Structure 1
Amino acid sequence: MKSALIVYGGWDGHQPEETSKIVSEALSGREFSVSMETDLDVFLDQDRLRQFDLIIPNWTMGNMTFEQGKSLKEVIESGIGLAGWHGGAGDAFRDNCEFQIMIGGQFVGHPGNMKDYTVDIINPDHEITKGLSSFPMHSEQYYMHIDPAVEVIAATKVNQPTDPWLEGTTMPVAWVRPWGKARVFYSALGHDPSEFKGDCLELLLRGLTWAAK
C-alpha cells in the first residue's frame, strides 16, 4: 500500500480542508494510506516525511520558512514524490522560489474568472493520460508562468474575450517533471470542491499515483 501526506491550510477561499478530505477519500479508494497535517513544521521532520511515498501540499499563498522549504526540498530530491493541484500547489508560498521551481510553475492570474473551456490531452501516451480524452470544464482558467523544463500532458486554449491579446494562447493545465530522484505532478484544475469529479478527478488521481511511483 502506498502512503501520502496532505499538508493543508492557507487561503480559505480554496477550501483546503474540504478539498483535502475529498482527495484523501479518493486516494484511499485506490489503496493509499493517507495522513493529513495542518502545520508546516511537519516539513522539518525529515524522518517522518521519508516514511511517505508522496507529499501533497494544499496551501494557497501563505508563507513557508527558509528552514521548512530547505527540509522539504531535500526530502523531495531524495525520491519522495511531490504533487498538487490548483492554487494549493501552483499558488503556494509565493515568496519561496525554490518551491515554485520544484512544482514547475506559478499562478499569475485567471482572466475572466469562472468560464467554460476545454482541457486537451497533449500527450495521450503518457501513463497518466492513456485512455483519457479532452473534456470540458467550467472553472477558473489558470494563467501561469511555466518552467520550460516540465513535460506538459494536458493544456487549454485561453478563452478571453475581455483581454483579446490573450485569446487562443496555449496554456498548460497538467504537467510532470523529475526533481532529483523524485517524480513531480501538477494539475491546475480544482478551484472548488464540486469540480473533483469525472475526468478532472481522474486526471488528478492518476497524477498523484504516478508521482508516488
Structure 2
Amino acid sequence: MTTKRAVVVRGGWEGHHPVEATELFLPFLREHGYDVLVESSPAVYADFDTMAATDLIVQCVTMSTIERDQVAGLRAAVQSGTGFTGWHGGIADSYHDSGEYAQLVGGAFVAHPGKEPEALTGEPGDNFLDHTIRLTPLAAEHPITAGLEDFELTTEQYWVLHDDLNDVLAVTTHPAPPWHPWHRPVVSPAIWTRNWGAGRVVVTTPGHSLEVLQHPSVRTVIERGMLWATRRA
C-alpha cells in the first residue's frame, strides 16, 4: 500500500473538543495507509515543503486566527492538489479575519438558531434542535454519500452563508417560528464538496459533540470525505 501523508490541524475553541474529536479519526486514517502528522496551529500551512508532501489536511480549529502567509500556503496547497476537509466549527467557523479562507471553504457559519424563548435555560442545549439532514439528488451517486438516507439529529443546526461553486450533498431547513425574525424557512447546505484548482474540499456541518461525530451517518460521511478529498495520483 502506498503511504499517503495526512496533516491534522487542531485547536481553537475547546468547546468543540478538538483533540478528542480528531483522535476519533486517527485510527481510520492510519488503517487506510496514511502517515499522520498532528499540528496544534495553522502555522504548518506556511511550511511549503510540508504542504507539498501532504495529500490530505484534516482541520478542527474553531474560531482562532490565521496569518496571511498561512492562509496563502493553505490555498496554494489545495490548489496544487492537497485535499482539505473538516466538520462543524472546525472548518466552517474558523478564522473570521480571513476572507481568503472563507472563499476557499465556500461556506461560513453565522448562526445556530435556538429554542423558543420560554424553553431557554442559558445552557448550551438552548441551541440543540431536532432537525433533518436531507440528502440531495447529487448525493445518491457521490462516493461520499452513496447508499445513505436522510437522518435525524438533535444538536446545533448550522446556518451557513455559501456560494454556488459548492456541490451540495445534503441540506437542512431552518423553520420560521414566530420568535425569530425571518419570515420563511431557510435551507442551508449541511454537507458539500468544492473543487479548488486540482484540490478537493469537503465540509460536513454536523459535529458539535463527540456523540454527534459518532452518529453512523455523520462518521461515514467524514471518513469517506477524507478518502475522496485526498490528492489523486
Normalising by the smaller structure, the TM-score range is over 0.9
* Equivalent of residue 96 in structure 1, options 83, 98, 104: 98
Q: What's the RMSD between the two structures over aligned residues?
A: 1.6
Report the residue type matching 1:45 in the other structure.
D
Verify the 8 A CA contact 1:158 1:166 in the aligned structure 2: no
Counterparts of 1:184 and 1:62, CA distance in 2 = 20
1:145 and 2:161 correspond: yes
Give the direction of change, closer, same or farther, for the CA distance of 1:164–1:40 in structure 2 (3 Å limit): closer
What is the CA deviation profile of residues 179-200 of structure 1, one whole-angstrom value per residue up to 9, with x for unaligned ones?
0110111010100111122111
Report the residue type matching 1:2 in the other structure.
K
Q: Equivalent residue for 2:120?
A: none
Number of aligned residues: 213
Q: Equivalent residue for 1:176?
A: 193
Q: In the TM superposition, what is the alpha-carbon distance from 1:84 to its structure 2 partner?
A: 1.1
Q: TM-score, normalised by structure 2?
A: 0.86
1:187 and 2:169 correspond: no
Counterparts of 1:48 and 1:84, CA distance in 2 = 19
Verify the 8 A CA contact 1:46 1:71 in the aligned structure 2: yes
Q: Equivalent residue for 2:129?
A: 115
Q: In the TM superposition, what is the alpha-carbon distance from 1:166 to its structure 2 partner?
A: 5.8
Q: Percent identity?
A: 34
Structure with max Cα Rg: 2
Report the residue type matching 2:141 in the other structure.
D
* Equivalent of residue 207 in structure 1, options 222, 225, 231: 225
Q: In the TM superposition, what is the alpha-carbon distance from 1:138 to its structure 2 partner?
A: 1.2
Verify the 8 A CA contact 1:111 1:160 in the aligned structure 2: no
Q: TM-score, normalised by structure 1?
A: 0.94
* Equivalent of residue 126 in structure 1, options 139, 142, 162: 142
SS in 2 for 1:165: coil
Unaligned runs of 5+ in 2: 115-126
Counterparts of 1:125 and 1:168, CA distance in 2 = 27
Report the residue type matching 2:56 in the other structure.
L
Q: In the TM superposition, what is the alpha-carbon distance from 1:118 to its structure 2 partner?
A: 0.9
Counterparts of 2:218 and 2:202, CA distance in 1 = 14
Q: In the TM superposition, what is the alpha-carbon distance from 1:160 to its structure 2 partner?
A: 5.2
Q: Equivalent residue for 1:64?
A: 66
Q: In the TM superposition, what is the alpha-carbon distance from 1:164 to its structure 2 partner?
A: 6.7
What is the CA deviation profile of residues 32-53 of structure 1, one whole-angstrom value per residue up to 9, with x for unaligned ones?
3322111322111111122121
